[in-house]
Amino acid sequence: MIRLELSQLVAYYILFFVIIFLGGWVFACRRKKRDAAYRKEFKFWQCSVCAFVYSSMFDESMTVCPQCGSYNKKEGET
Ligand SMILES: [Zn+2]
């Protein structure tokens, strides 16, 4: 049987939760970085007619909505 003192048990208990917390933090940071790279690579568009959100890899000034077929211009252009 493993013999532990109460102070060692408390220390291992705290260490366990610190490791879990740091692992989760690192995982969340990696995920955030990956999502930012994804958003940078893809341009997201929202259709002005049906509000459908779709993505395009190319930096186009006008796209066609895959849902309703209407044309959408980049914001800021007339
Ligand atoms: Zn649409």
Which tokens go with 5? 């003192």
Which tokens go with 21? 């917390």
Report the distance separating Cα 12 and Cα 5, nearest Å. 11
Distance 38 CA to ligand 1 centre (A): 23
- pTM more than 0.85: no
Distance 39 CA to ligand 1 centre (A): 21
- Domain boundaries along the sequence of the chain: 1-41, 42-78
Distance 21 CA to ligand 1 centre (A): 43
Task: State the pLDDT confidence band at 78, using cuts at 50, 70 and 90.
Answer: low
Report the distance separating Cα 28 and Cα 26, nearest Å. 5
Task: State the pLDDT confidence band at 44, using cuts at 50, 70 and 90.
Answer: confident
Bridge partners of residue 44, in order along the sequence: 55
